Chains A and B, each alone.
Chain A
Amino acid sequence: MYYIGVDIGSTCAKTTVTDADGKIYFQEVCPTGWSSVDTAENIRKQLADAGFDPKDNVVVATGYGRVAIPYSDKTVTEITCHCAGAVQLFGHQEMGVIDIGGQDTKIIEVEHGMVKNFIMNDKCSAGTGRFLEVMANTLSVTPDQLTVLAEGGSDTSISSLCTVFAESEVISLIGRGEKKENIAFAVVDSIVRKVASQASRMHLAGKPVCLTGGLCDSEYIRKALSNELKMDVETCPQARYAGSIGATVFARKLGAKKS
């Protein structure tokens, strides 16, 4: 029996398969595309081809597309899953988890390995992956390239938090001949400040803070966030899978109940 976690986010769908001991056998990320239903079906095929057919194993679905997965045995929200995933990945029972996702950013306070409190951006896409994507598009680079460029920039800022207005600001900066590096710096700076302002509303002092979600690959973002929060933010390459890893935790619990 294998335990499968499927995390269909707004931008990417992440899948993790483990055995009963939590050892990872399969991990995959693919773009969500426009249809969660199609994505769910593609993941099912991939899993079946790799020898982990959902119908023979336990599946827990999470992410905003969690309800679009017909073969899941249970759905758990991404907040609870990111917490469980971060506990697995980082080994802390007490910590703050910052998940910068495609369309929302979550700050989770973890106590005894469980969610104690959380907040999510509710007003707009400021401080999310989508903000980065839109700005990268305006600058004709990929989001990854943008974060690399940002490292060489300085002294520029975007004041608007609204993604649409911020895009106009970026266009103005392009218009007045500002260096691409500086604009990229301003974009990342804007995200980091927004995330830090959300985090300041949670009780994270003295606890380790871990970054999960799609932006964890960027060392520059980790550093910038650490500077802004005045604490050393941890991350690891697998942190983008935190949601699906967390889902496997609940799949294993469910499997134990079933058998």
Chain B
Amino acid sequence: MSDYLQMWKDLDMDIETHDMLCQVLPTAFGDTFLSMENRPESMGFYDFVVSEIHGIRPSEMIAAQAEGKKVVGTFCVYVPDEVINAAGALFSGLCGGSQFWVPGGEKYLPKNTCPLVKASLGARFDRTCPFFRLVDMIVGETTCDAKKKAYEILGQDVPMYIMDMPQMKRDIDIQKWADEIKAFAAKMEELTGNTITIDGLNDAIKTINNKRKALARIYDARKNADNIPISGLDALLIMQIAFFDDPARCAEMANKVADELEQRNKDGVSVFPAGTKRILLTGTPLAIPNWKLHHIIETSGAAVVCEEMCTGTRYFENLVDEDNATLDDAYMALSKRYMKNNCSCFTPNQGRIDDILRMAKEYNVDGVIDTNLKFCCLYDTERRSVEEAMNEAGIPFLGIETDYTDSDAEQLRTRIEAFVEMLG
């Protein structure tokens, strides 16, 4: 990594502890990613971003702040990036994906809290992540109980704004989310001192839609039944980086990858041998640098061809209506798109089951692996309905609960290898 020491010092980071993280990441990345063969050339950009993960994008954000712009941290794919963008602010996904931060979070949270929430609090309070340090405000949302309560603790250390998520999908809930988005827009205006105009919001909607379309192209290329142009790991990395990159650049880079993948499909260039079993991975998000399951699956004779996850299809599926006449129309258009997302915090949540069945077909999968982070009671409980639906549809299914540690890696490998053997 280039020299960002002064920047980290200015962010009041714990340099010594952070150095330990900087030392392990390149090895983890090298072992997992650089050992793969025949990766798309366009992955070079993403490799570079990882190599400078705590430097390059934070320094861009800090430069924007020097020009008077604000940076907002988010934790959920329901928080509308369009509103942040229209207010002239930058956004960054913040979810923690490393065991490195978990013990820090356990100082503040019960041990039986999901590792994503623990890692996130640990990253902020232990002062070992520049993104967590540089944000002017964090936007939380009432998706799950662990996050709701953790935000109260986080709010003691950093300005927090909470959006109240509906938990059902009736018309009144869609109206309610539109109202929440409007209230959030007012908060963003207050934070930035800028006024959100309908033209500005329509532009922001187009910008984020373009990013969604570009990411969707990558996933479309993964649907090819005869060719696997990109590993699940590389696709996951693109999604993970999309959460904090500039949206226009994200679209540009994703389109470059998509171009290459489409060409690979034409030329029959695959990163896996013919006959490799195709897996749809569903469940809880895989925040950077959580590459554990993809790595185990893809070194056990199978390939991940789709992620029905927040770090996957939930991030880009469905577009927001463009060219809205009024701000209220735009807030409703946003609400309608976001409420099409199917997180297990909703009840009932048949939409997610339908999504999984649809994706199993679209991506020509041989089996579904549903995973949840330990102590995520929502996804864990919903597994039963997912499994029943897969049994009924005759789609082989494996459920896996895991966390960020490597302690269960060999057990998981046995289970995943056996599942792949079962697929024939």
Contacts and interface: CB of A to CB of B under 8 A. Distances in A.
Among A104, A116, A122, residue most surrounded by chain B Cβ atoms (within 10 Å): A122
Among B397, B401, B408, B422, residue most surrounded by chain A Cβ atoms (within 10 Å): B422
Nearest to B400: A122
Contacts of A64: 410, 414
B415 interface: yes
A80 interface: yes
Contact of A80 (B401, B410, B418): B418
Interface stretch (A24-32, A71-79, A164-172, A221-229): A71-79
A160 to B, nearest CB: 17
Contacts, number: 36
B417 interface: yes
A114 to B, nearest CB: 7
A90 interface: no
Interface of A: 64, 76-80, 104, 114-118, 120, 122
B357 to A, nearest CB: 18
Task: In the A-B complex, list the 8 residue pairs whose CB atoms are closest, starting with the nearest.
Answer: A79-B418, A77-B418, A80-B421, A115-B422, A77-B417, A77-B414, A80-B418, A120-B415
Among B401, B418, B421, residue most surrounded by chain A Cβ atoms (within 10 Å): B418
B156 interface: no
Contact of B411 (A76, A118, A122): A122
B414 A114 contact: no
B418 A104 contact: no
B368 to A, nearest CB: 12
Interface of B: 396-397, 401, 408, 410-411, 414-415, 417-418, 421-422, 424
Contacts of B418: 77-80, 115, 118
B421 A115 contact: yes
Nearest to B411: A122
B414 A78 contact: yes
Contact of A120 (B397, B411, B424): B411
B363 to A, nearest CB: 22
B417 A104 contact: no
A80 B424 CA distance: 11
B411 A80 contact: no
B422 A114 contact: yes
Given A64-B410, A122-B401, A122-B408, A80 B415 contact: no
Nearest to B374: A123
A145 to B, nearest CB: 30
A117 B417 CA distance: 13
